[in-house]
């Protein structure tokens, strides 16, 4: 089914987004200004858990320039439901815990919004927010998900029976039998932490209500405008028709912006209630306390292998920190558990997963969405096997990796939507071999010995990954030729947030419509221009929206040729599209522009359309695919560890990866490298900390470390292309791939560097202090 790649599609095409962004004329939500606009600031809970006794807004209202302060009581009359119900369906839930628009009874995490202040500017709004007097009655809080599940633990919500939000089992095969007869069983407890999304642009909304058309428009820095519209419509009890959600330029998404937030509802309602446009721009501190994060998972796992290191089974349990509310669902730990076995042949598997409520901001996917944790578990266990059986780490993997000859390979697992997991394509052993060769495995032992002789500790580590991409079921795209300008507009709910979506559309559509990218005007992310959409997440846009755009463009092309043949009175075979025109191959002087063609089918009252042609030069396609396309790869990394300070320096980083057919190699490299840098941060720097009372202790970028340029090594990317049969372009998603194997590969390299100290790393991130402690422990036991 996959089409041959064309020069336009597989090329390094420069991005259409760039000129505006480079000249400072991008249009981000904070760049919008509407006449009469009020600025909002939120009053937020300073406590991890408390009853709200009273809220007194009188002092705030006296500040000159303050217009309104809205609390839960002010919003309730306008809401059909005060709850944001967004949990993806699953039979695993034990309780439904949904966020309110504004909290007014009980606050359950620091940062939870309790009031919105509207003023002439943000300075005044913040002054006044500090004067809103909220009386809290503190309640015990619980932050460690393992503690939260113990009998007698403080309740995260005083009205809940317990803190177990959901529980499910995943697996296949007779795992107990596999372990009972296994010659070797190794057990580990892993702690895995990932921090926040931390797009450099925080969240933000502008809302305006038009009483004339009775419609509300919300411009929001969101990855999912259509979902936002439907949640908002549901909460207000309005028809979706009355709400338009528009995504302007987005300064990075990385997961947390796919969620619909209390602030979004509050800002929208504030505009409706006051009749004035309202803007709220999240500041970084708010991003730390009120934007969803990924945080903690605790894994207890054991692996059973035979004497040849062939895996017999893997089993264990995960306790997952869910935060205080359901803001997305059980999907994140589901993906973690699902990812574990993907790359390898594992005859029996079992994982029990418990999602624990905690008094912290809700947990939802950050780039990678639980999959780095699954890979980390598998790869750490394989390193353990290699060490225990005194085998080469690469050899242990090679004996267990699924091979190209086995593709498509059916895993006895179901996706969270209930579909069979089928690995469609890829050559996993080839990626491993390539990454290791490029990382210099051949002469590494000699280099390592030489370094050791100089008193330096260098190590090589690596990790394989397989990642589901292109989550269905569909992402509609409309391709429409504008009769006036002859330009080709592309509409979709597939939001752009830095991943070059507009360029992707331009390449795919121009390929069919005459090859001129400058004629393509991609305008994604507006519910006003296309009825349905899911949005940007799960490395899905090139797969889902790209395929729809491809099919829609073909339809428009065919129609353009048909109309032109009627108008020019020439056979279709003699026509082709070139630039913005249909031209006769036999006589290039005979041509007609796309704009003229569009006009000829735009309809003139009383006049007939060209014979046999339907109205309008446009097409909408909803390419549907339920199965995911599985990307894969291998990251190999060389580190040097300073045994005195525990400092880790990355000397070399190679990632061999396969995301199927490549639409734009420049963009693919950019996605991979950016995600690897994120992964390095997850391994060595990023930590979202809380104290025992669930007070966040890392609430600025001095305390919470995002990786900076000097810590990032040069990252070498090696492309492998196994086109998938699942979509007409043969593409797989790429946006998250780089992050998935990175922490696992780095830990493997650190261990290798410190093998004389017998260090085993069962956590991510790891700090220099912790590395020194492990070296000390190794020295003592030696």
Strand order in the sheet with 243-246: 66-71, 113-119, 38-44, 278-281, 204-210, 215-220, 243-246
Torsion of CA 742, 743, 749, 753, to 10 degrees: 150
Prior bond of 408 cis (ω within 30°): yes
Smallest CA-to-CA distance from 118 within 130, 109, 126 is with: 126
Shortest spacing between CB 595 and ligand FES, in angstroms = 35
Closer residue to ligand FES (CB): 499 or 507: 499
Sequence-distant (6+) residues with CB within 8 A of 541 are 475, 494, 499, 501, 504, 733, 735
* Contact pick of 3, 59, 609, 712 for another protein (by CB under 8 A): 712
Shortest spacing between CB 758 and another protein, in angstroms = 33
- CA distance linking residue 458 with residue 440, whole number of Å: 13
Task: By CB under 8 A, tell whether 25 contacts another protein.
Answer: yes
Write the CA distances from 263 to 79, 102, 227, 267, 699, integer angstroms.
14, 8, 15, 6, 19
| Burial profile 154-187: b = 16 or more Cβ within 10 angstroms, e = fewer | bbbbeeeebbbbbebebbebebeebbeebeeebe
Closer residue to ligand FES (CB): 469 or 671: 671
Q: Binds 761, which of ligand FES, another protein, none (CB < 5 to 8 A, cut-off by type)?
A: none
Closer residue to ligand FES (CB): 639 or 672: 672
Q: Binds 700, which of another protein, ligand FES, none (CB < 5 to 8 A, cut-off by type)?
A: another protein
Closer residue to another protein (CB): 62 or 210: 62
Closer residue to another protein (CB): 541 or 552: 541
Residues 612-671 that bind another protein (CB under 8 A): 666-667, 669-670
Residue with nearest beta carbon to ligand FES: 200
Task: By CB under 8 A, tell whether 223 contacts another protein.
Answer: no
Task: By CB under 8 A, tell whether 222 contacts another protein.
Answer: no
Closer residue to another protein (CB): 178 or 650: 650
- CA distance linking residue 694 with residue 111, whole number of Å: 11
Shortest spacing between CB 28 and ligand FES, in angstroms = 11
Write the CA distances from 389 to 345, 370, 392, 761, integer angstroms.
19, 29, 9, 18
Task: By CB under 8 A, tell whether 708 contacts another protein.
Answer: yes
Helix H or strand E segment including 172: strand 164-172
Residues 155-214 that bind another protein (CB under 8 A): 198-202
- CA distance linking residue 383 with residue 462, whole number of Å: 10
Residues 493-512 that bind ligand FES (CB under 6 A): 498
- Say if residues 394 and 436 touch (Cβ distance below 8 Å): yes
Task: By CB under 8 A, tell whether 18 contacts another protein.
Answer: yes
Task: By CB under 6 A, tell whether 370 contacts ligand FES.
Answer: no
Q: What number of other Cβ atoms are within 10 A of residue 24's Cβ?
A: 7
* Contact pick of 225, 498, 696, 733 for another protein (by CB under 8 A): 498
Shortest spacing between CB 364 and ligand FES, in angstroms = 20
Q: Give 139's Cβ-side CA count (13 Å radius).
A: 23
Task: By CB under 6 A, tell whether 252 contacts ligand FES.
Answer: yes
257: burial class by Cβ within 10 Å (0-12, 13-18, 19+)?
buried
Closer residue to another protein (CB): 107 or 673: 673
390: burial class by Cβ within 10 Å (0-12, 13-18, 19+)?
exposed
* Contact pick of 85, 200, 450, 777 for ligand FES (by CB under 6 A): 200
Q: Binds 33, which of ligand FES, another protein, none (CB < 5 to 8 A, cut-off by type)?
A: another protein
Shortest spacing between CB 199 and another protein, in angstroms = 6
Helix H or strand E segment including 748: helix 742-753
Shortest spacing between CB 738 and ligand FES, in angstroms = 15
Q: Binds 323, which of ligand FES, another protein, none (CB < 5 to 8 A, cut-off by type)?
A: none
Smallest CA-to-CA distance from 360 within 692, 764, 93 is with: 692
Task: By CB under 6 A, tell whether 255 contacts ligand FES.
Answer: no
Shortest spacing between CB 632 and another protein, in angstroms = 20
Given the rule CB under 8 A, which residues bind another protein?
Answer: 14-15, 17-19, 21-26, 28, 30-31, 33, 121-123, 198-202, 249-252, 254, 283-284, 497-500, 666-667, 669-670, 673-678, 700-702, 706, 708-710, 712, 714-715
């Amino acid at each position: 089914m996959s089409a041959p790649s064309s020069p336009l599609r597989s090329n390094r095409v420069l991005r259409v987004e760039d000129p505006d962004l480079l000249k400072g004329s991008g249009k981000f939500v904070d760049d919008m200004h509407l006449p009469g606009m009020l600025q909002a600031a939120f009053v937020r809970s300073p406590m991890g858990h408390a009853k709200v006794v009273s809220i007194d807004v009188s002092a705030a209202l006296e500040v000159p320039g303050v217009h309104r302060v809205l609390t839960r009581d002010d919003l309730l009359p306008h809401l059909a439901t005060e709850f944001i119900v967004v949990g993806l369906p699953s039979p695993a839930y034990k309780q439904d815990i949904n966020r309110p628009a504004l909290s007014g009874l009980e606050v359950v995490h620091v940062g939870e919004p309790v009031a919105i202040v509207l003023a002439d500017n943000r300075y005044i709004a913040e002054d006044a927010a500090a004067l809103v007097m909220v009386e809290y009655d503190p309640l015990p809080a619980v932050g460690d998900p393992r503690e939260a599940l113990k009998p007698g633990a403080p309740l995260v919500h005083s009205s809940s029976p317990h803190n177990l939000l959901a529980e499910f089992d995943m697996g296949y095969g007779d795992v107990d039998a596999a372990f009972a007869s296994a010659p070797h069983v190794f057990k580990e407890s892993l702690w895995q932490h990932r921090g926040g999304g931390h797009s450099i642009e925080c969240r933000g909304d502008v809302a305006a209500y038009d009483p004339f058309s009775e419609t509300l428009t919300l411009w929001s820095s969101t990855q999912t405008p259509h979902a936002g519209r439907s949640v908002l419509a549901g909460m207000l009890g309005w028809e979706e028709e009355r709400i338009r959600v528009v995504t302007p330029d987005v300064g990075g998404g990385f997961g947390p912006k796919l969620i619909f937030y209390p602030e979004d509802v509050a800002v929208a309602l504030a505009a409706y209630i006051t009749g004035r446009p309202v803007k709220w721009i999240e500041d970084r501190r708010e991003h730390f306390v009120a934007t969803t994060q990924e945080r903690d998972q605790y894994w207890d796992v054991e692996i059973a292998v035979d004497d040849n290191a062939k895996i017999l089974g893997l089993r264990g349990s995960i306790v997952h920190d869910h935060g205080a509310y359901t803001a997305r669902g059980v999907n994140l730990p589901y993906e973690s558990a699902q990812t574990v076995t993907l790359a390898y042949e594992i005859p029996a598997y079992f994982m029990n997963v418990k999602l624990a409520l905690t008094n912290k901001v809700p947990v939802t996917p950050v780039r990678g969405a639980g999959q780095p944790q699954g890979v980390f578990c598998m790869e750490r266990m394989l390193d353990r096997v290699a060490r225990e059986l005194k085998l080469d780490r690469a050899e242990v993997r090679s004996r267990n990796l699924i091979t190209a000859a086995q593709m498509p390979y059916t895993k006895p697992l179901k996706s969270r939507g209930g579909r069979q997991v089928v690995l469609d394509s890829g050559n996993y052993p080839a990626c491993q071999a390539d990454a290791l060769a490029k990382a210099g495995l051949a002469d590494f032992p000699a280099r390592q010995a030489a370094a050791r002789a100089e008193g330096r500790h260098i190590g090589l580590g690596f990790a394989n990954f397989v990642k589901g991409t292109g989550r269905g079921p569909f992402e509609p795209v409309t391709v429409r030729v504008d009769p006036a300008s002859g330009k080709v507009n592309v509409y979709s709910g597939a939001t752009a947030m830095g991943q070059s979506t507009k360029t992707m559309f331009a390449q795919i559509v121009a390929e069919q419509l005459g090859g001129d990218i400058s004629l393509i005007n991609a305008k994604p992310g507006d519910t006003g221009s296309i009825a349905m959409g899911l949005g940007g997440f799960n490395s899905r846009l090139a797969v889902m929206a790209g395929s729809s755009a491809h099919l829609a463009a073909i339809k428009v092309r065919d129609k353009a040729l048909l109309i032109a043949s009627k108008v020019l009175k020439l056979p279709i075979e003699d026509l082709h599209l070139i630039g913005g025109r249909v031209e006769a191959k036999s006589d290039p002087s005979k041509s007609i522009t796309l704009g003229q063609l569009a006009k000829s089918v735009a309809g003139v009252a009383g006049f007939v359309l060209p014979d046999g042609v339907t109205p309008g030069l446009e097409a909408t396609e909803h390419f549907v695919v339920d199965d995911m396309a599985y990307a894969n790869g291998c990251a190999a990394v060389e580190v040097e560890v300073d045994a005195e300070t525990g400092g880790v320096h990355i000397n070399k980083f190679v990632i061999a990866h396969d995301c199927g057919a490549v639409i734009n190699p420049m963009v693919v490299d950019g996605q991979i490298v950016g995600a690897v840098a994120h992964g390095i941060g997850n391994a060595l720097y990023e930590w979202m900390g809380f104290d025992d009372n669930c007070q966040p202790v890392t609430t600025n970028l001095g305390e919470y470390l995002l990786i900076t340029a000097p810590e990032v090594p040069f990252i070498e990317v090696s492309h492998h292309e196994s086109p998938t049969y699942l979509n007409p372009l043969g593409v797989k998603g790429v946006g998250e791939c780089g992050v998935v194997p990175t922490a696992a590969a780095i830990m493997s390299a650190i261990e290798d560097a410190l093998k004389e100290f017998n260090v085993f790393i069962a956590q991510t991130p790891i700090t220099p202090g912790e590395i020194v402690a492990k070296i000390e422990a190794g020295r003592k036991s030696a």
